[in-house]
């Protein structure tokens, strides 16, 4: 397995990783109609749009893209960042791929400069992100109107902005 920066030619494969993961992994925690709507929006064009303002990475197993993730500024703030679009194909879950993605994102320029990193986490992803050191933002431990948990990690060693 290797991790590298996203390239435009990866957009279709990344879209398929996201759609497959939603279809298989997330449907156990969400209503099918909500997942169907999300799957419709996760096109290659949507991936390219996200990649245009974030640093996106892909994990490959030989030549196959098996996972993805991105980090970008939190509302244009230099001292805060957000994680986005973290997905791992179901057959690779539990094998360290997600950890590799999150650690890479946290060590990216956007991660290193941030004093705080936020992630909008799915119900499905909540246990994983909690294990990675993310806690409930403002102590709110319930999903919001977007059906997501808002998690964050404060970093004491981040440079002053």
- Give pLDDT tens digits for 115-124: 999 999 999 9
| Reported confidence tier of residue 96, pLDDT bands at 50, 70, 90 | very high
pLDDT mean across residues, the chain: 95
pLDDT at 139 over 80: yes
Average pLDDT (37-49) is 97
Domains and CATH numbers, the chain: 2-154 (3.40.630.30)
pLDDT for residue 76: 87
Phi, psi of 134 (to 5 degrees): -90, 140
Q: What is the C-alpha separation between 80 and 137, in angstroms, rounded?
A: 13
């Amino acid at each position: 397995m290797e991790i590298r920066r996203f390239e435009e030619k990866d957009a279709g494969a990344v879209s398929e990783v996201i759609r497959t993961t939603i279809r298989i992994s997330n449907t156990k925690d969400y209503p099918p109609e909500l997942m169907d709507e999300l799957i419709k929006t996760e096109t290659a064009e949507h991936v390219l749009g996200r990649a245009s303002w974030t640093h996106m990475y892909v994990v490959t197993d030989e030549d196959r893209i098996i996972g993805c993730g991105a980090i970008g500024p939190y509302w244009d703030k230099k001292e805060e960042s957000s994680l986005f679009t973290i997905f791992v194909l179901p057959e690779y879950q539990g094998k360290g791929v997600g950890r590799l993605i999150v650690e890479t994102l946290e060590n990216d320029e956007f991660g290193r400069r941030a004093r705080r990193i936020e992630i909008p986490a799915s119900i499905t992803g909540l246990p994983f992100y909690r294990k990675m050191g993310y806690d409930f933002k403002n102590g709110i431990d319930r999903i919001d109107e977007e059906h997501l948990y808002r998690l964050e990690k404060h970093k004491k060693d981040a440079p002053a902005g």
